[in-house]
Chains A and B, each alone.
Chain A
Amino acid sequence: MRDPEKWRPSRIVRDPRSGRFVTNRRGIFGGSLYIAELQHAHYLPLIEQHITGRVLDVGCGPVPYYELYKPKSTEVVCVDWAGSPHAKDVLDHFIDLNAEPRLPFPDDHFDSILASDMLVHITRPHVFLAELRRILKPGGHLVITAPFAYWMGEYPHEYMHFSEFSLKHLAKDAGLETRHILAYGGHADVLMDCVNKFFPVGIMNRVYWAFARVVIATGWPRRNRERTKGPYALGYSMVVRKPVV
């Protein structure tokens, strides 16, 4: 990270009372309140567990999970492109990954790589994953998160939505072992997220959130999710490893 002093919390903050990381509702787009809660419950433990040592945060945006992996990391390298709508003081490298697929790092360089909600912006994912494999140390982990039944949040920089099956194939074809892949969200969650996107701001956003909390409290989304997260996934998280030869 080029200038850690300039880093600010975005998607998550540490709750001063419990000491745990929670969704920072003031730091995210109002249309993403619902999905953010789901994503964080799902990914944060994975990031905390697997993102360690010399870390590459690729397509990092505002580096939302920096505070989460900082205690276990020895070095953090942040890469995003110059067109990123997020703060740029934290970036170490400005790289357009679609124009320059070769990353400026030696082979076997990183202990872990985080590619969070950015694979959708990559035109040739198989080329990109092969490059991540090259710069990962043998035994090193790559954590990928990717939305599925989801809108184009950064239109027009949006390419493929991947199902769990294409993610698995892409990893295998790139020479990476899948350690874990899980869907988050289900049919009810896709519906609730879509309604949320109608009310991203103002009083209606507050009304929506009050309504969503009632719906969540009924237990319906949770029960529905267990049954439908295969065919109706809102997104996926995945941990893959570069094999130790």
Chain B
Amino acid sequence: MIQTYVAGDVLDLGCGTAPYYEVYRPKATSVTCVDRSTDERVRAVVDVVADIDRPLPFPDAAFDAVLLTDVIAHVRDPWALMREISRVLRPGGRLVLTTPFIYWLCEYPNDFFHPSRFALEELCARSGQQVQVLRSYGGQADVLMDTLNKMFPTGIGHRLFTGLVRILDFSGWLRRDRERTRETYSLGYVLVTRRA
């Protein structure tokens, strides 16, 4: 999705260490990385230090593409952020957003909203963006495996867990379960919108 839709003048919002930079760089004519973090590794890649809970420090229609990966959960007012994204996007510009749904509070305590597919659609409708792609990822078995994984982040437990996942993956259970439960038990979503 990032490779296909993120091109031209790119705004990487809440970029962190800009992990997808190499993915979108070939198609980008300019890249602006924005984050509020004071972390040194983040500061090294950031072009503009800004709190994305506040109006964005860019003029109207300044970008062709906005990338918002696993950021919207950490924003106090996602409705306002989506309006701001619409403002800084050129007509026809794209937003590529990823966000977790049935998932723990990452970066606790800075975690506010986990939007479902329907909340994402609602956010787009209210901010003048058309949904182009909206896919859920993960299902019930994946939520279960992710929850287990978080209990065994390191050491021998982690190795045993990894082994279990390989076996379950090989058995095809994870994939079959995902087909059945992807909508009611989504781990998260990938959304691409087009600015109207």
Sample of 23 A–B contacts (CB below 8 Å)? A123-B119, A126-B79, A148-B105, A149-B102, A150-B102, A151-B140, A152-B116, A152-B184, A153-B184, A159-B115, A160-B113, A161-B102, A161-B113, A162-B112, A165-B110, A165-B112, A166-B76, A169-B76, A190-B104, A191-B151, A197-B140, A231-B105, A232-B104
Contact B113 A190 (CB under 8 A): no
CB closest chain-A residue, reference B101: A161
Contact B109 A195 (CB under 8 A): no
Contact B114 A160 (CB under 8 A): yes
A186 to B20, alpha carbons, bound, how many Å?
32
Q: A161-B116, A163-B113, A165-B111 are in contact. Are A149 and B144 (CB under 8 A)?
A: no
Chain A residues, Cβ within 8 Å of B119: 123, 158-160
Interface positions of A (Cβ within 8 A of B): 123, 126, 148-153, 155-163, 165-166, 169, 187, 190-191, 194-195, 197-198, 230-233
Contact A165 B147 (CB under 8 A): no
CB closest chain-B residue, reference A188: B151
Most chain A beta-carbon neighbours within 10 Å: one of B76, B113, B151: B113
Q: A169-B76, A191-B148 are in contact. Are A162 and B109 (CB under 8 A)?
A: no
Chain B residues, Cβ within 8 Å of A169: 76, 112
**Is B183 located at the chain interface by the 8 A CB criterion?**
yes
Contact B116 A151 (CB under 8 A): no
A153 to B102, alpha carbons, bound, how many Å?
12
Chain B residues, Cβ within 8 Å of A232: 104-105, 150
Contact A151 B185 (CB under 8 A): yes
A160 to B140, alpha carbons, bound, how many Å?
18
Chain B residues, Cβ within 8 Å of A231: 104-106, 108
A152 to B144, alpha carbons, bound, how many Å?
15
A166 to B114, alpha carbons, bound, how many Å?
10
The 3 A-B pairs at the shortest CB distance, nearest first, are namely: A166-B112, A161-B114, A159-B119
Q: A160-B116, A165-B111 are in contact. Are A149 and B140 (CB under 8 A)?
A: no
**Is B118 located at the chain interface by the 8 A CB criterion?**
yes
Chain B residues, Cβ within 8 Å of A156: 117-118, 183
Contact A187 B102 (CB under 8 A): no
CB closest chain-A residue, reference B73: A163
A198 to B132, alpha carbons, bound, how many Å?
33
CB < 8 Å: which of B101, B109, B148 contacts A230? B109
